[in-house]
With several copies, the nearest count.
Chain A
Amino acid sequence: MNYTPKEMMAIAASRTIRNDDIVFCGTGISMLAAMAAKHISAPESVIFFETGAIDSRLAELPLAVGDPRVMYRTAVNGSLLDSFATMQNRTTGKRVVGILGAAQIDPYGNLNSTVIGDYARPKVRFSGSGGAADVASFVDRTIIFMQHEKRKFVSRLDYLTSPGWLDGGDSRHKQGLCRGGPAMVITNLAVMGFDPQSHRMFLQALYPGVAAADVVANTGFSIDATRCVPLAPPSAEELRVLRDVCDPQRLILG
């Protein structure tokens, strides 16, 4: 295998980005995925950050969404209020793809990035929502990056930071979230989708060299593996763009 799981993750996500998408991304792999898409399949897609930078040129890789590198030669330097309004807006929100990560995920794509243990006196405190709860509430398509580990794929979250499909079925809609919901989970092993009716996570596509049993063993809840297809490995061109154009210093690819 001439590529790393991180590279496969970035490519798997980048392939889902369309030309008229507005891509919300954080730093890390999500930004590489968005940059790769712009250079390969979706040249007119627009990258924006919650900090308000729209269509950043990204001549160098930012290490945080507040990095001054996101401000260089943007189309507009807005505020946080502008960027989240773009996602909540009925017209533009439909075109936004949000890329998120978390400490825990449950079978319905709900995310925890706040605490392990009791909220009032947590065992481990994480950063908190940031813009994740906003993105998860607003945008039409959410892509979630996770490390595939049993302790991260749990039946029940310690804290529900970012709403996914909530309890599945139409519960998201009933709670008042009239749009969106998680579209897929991309891990170091595979791509998971959500059943269109029950909205429960299922194994959708396996990376080359990974067995469905590996995914089941690393998932802390039962997961349907019957609908699984193989995923094509990164092409030479995809790898070239990712490595040479997006992250030549390997700041994120490691």
Chain B
Amino acid sequence: MDKTMSLREAVQRFVTDGSHISIGGFTINRNPMAAVYEIIRQGRQGLHLYAHSNGQGVDELIGGGCVQRLEIAYGGSGRFASTCLRFRKAVQAGTLAVEDYSNYQMSLRFLAGAMGVPFLPTRSGLGSDIVAKWGFPPEYRQSEPRVPDQKLCVMDNPFTGHTDVRKVVLVPAIHTDVAIIHVQQADRQGTARIRGLPFVDVEQAKASAHVIITCEELVASEVLRENADLNCIPPFIVDAVVPVPYGAYPTACYGHYDYDPVFLKHYAELSAEDAAYADYVESHIRGTADHAAFLERAAPDGLEAILANPETGYARNLDRR
């Protein structure tokens, strides 16, 4: 089945107000930014967003006014933002409800959803406030069928004799309505290939009822099948395939382009000011028709500087000061 469609259609069909969603990538790498901008453009609200360290896309969805609840491990962008500022401001203003986990806990929660088990165990967080302090009110947990009644729980290890582990934290599965993943290559049926680190994208996709794949290149199935060992997303979990060149910009896409340090530094500045940020959302996102138009506004001098060196996969000697 040919699942290709426009980004507009994919977002209209699979991301609705109040959807529970996750996006792929990590901090400044391979976020599905074109889809993030399209969600903001379409004015989606009340999203429940699940993230480990999904970075730039998380901050822009918050800044765009789309997110009501956030389960997250890390709201930063490396050296560009030790804490992402729209995230910080929304939490401090009380307009964004947050539930904190660790990166491994969030990864395990996506894995649990992918595996079809209600929870997975880990030693991570024993004795911490991640276990002790809960963010969402119990009424929300009880009234919302997409989230479990408990944030997590601690249990005694029932197996003795071959381990010194006495207790584990059980973290509950995540089941999103939709996961959006940006990849280097996909075919029309949804088989996809990620180059470089996959982060938790594959588990995020498998934990979701629906999956949107945006890709740099749409390729023939036979091209991907020549070396299936490199493919990671099976076609039967995918609902929409959307070719979007530079679909991860301003974050990096290994082998294609680097993150844009100029844009990210500019973003860090304007995200510190409410008025400047509102202008940015209006002019760059709501005021553009699609990702190509966004790119023209965000990188008026073009994208040559960040094009990846074919040998290294990133832009060598890029000025990142």
Contact = CB atoms under 8 A, between A and B. Distances in A.
Given A55-B234, A159-B133, A81 B107 contact: yes
Interface in B191-210: 191, 196-200, 202-203, 206, 208-209
Interface string B112-145: 0011110000111111111011010000000000
B102 A71 contact: no
A129 B130 contact: yes
Interface stretch (A173-181, A192-200, A209-217, A238-246): A173-181
Interface residues of A, dominant DSSP: loop
Contacts of B25: 66
B313 A52 contact: no
Interface in A52-75: 52-55, 57, 59-60, 62-75
17 contacts: A66-B28, A67-B29, A67-B252, A67-B314, A71-B254, A75-B231, A77-B229, A80-B52, A84-B104, A125-B83, A125-B88, A129-B74, A130-B102, A138-B124, A163-B125, A175-B126, A249-B321
Interface in B300-321: 308, 312-314, 316-317, 320-321
Contacts of A44: 1
Given A68-B252, A84-B107, A92-B236, A77 B198 contact: yes
Q: List the 3 closest pairs (A to B, CB-CB), nearest first.
A: A64-B78, A176-B167, A88-B116
B270 interface: no
Interface residues of B, dominant DSSP: loop
Contacts of A50: 103
Contacts of A52: 197-199
Nearest to B114: A85
Given A71-B254, A72-B312, A72-B314, A66 B27 contact: yes
Interface in B219-262: 221-222, 224-226, 228-229, 231-237, 252, 254, 258-259, 261
Contacts of A251: 79, 320-321
Contacts of A59: 312
Interface in B250-300: 252, 254, 258-259, 261
A131 B27 contact: no
Contacts of B27: 64-66
A229 interface: no
B175 interface: yes
Interface in A230-250: 249
B301 to A, nearest CB: 21
Contacts of A75: 189, 191, 221, 224-225, 228, 231, 234-235
B209 A91 contact: yes
Q: Which bracket fits the contact residues of A?
A: 35 or more
A97 to B, nearest CB: 13
A65 B125 CA distance: 21
Q: Which bracket fits the contact residues of B?
A: 35 or more
B5 to A, nearest CB: 18
Given A63-B320, A69-B314, A88-B115, A79 B78 contact: no
Nearest to B196: A71
Nearest to A177: B126
Interface of A: 22, 27-28, 44, 46, 50-55, 57, 59-60, 62-81, 84-93, 95, 114, 119-134, 137-138, 159-163, 166, 171-172, 175-178, 249, 251
B213 interface: no
A133 B124 contact: yes
B32 interface: no
Contact of A132 (B92, B102, B261): B102
> Which of B84, B103, B198, B206 neighbours the largest number of chain A CB atoms within 10 Å of its CB?
B103
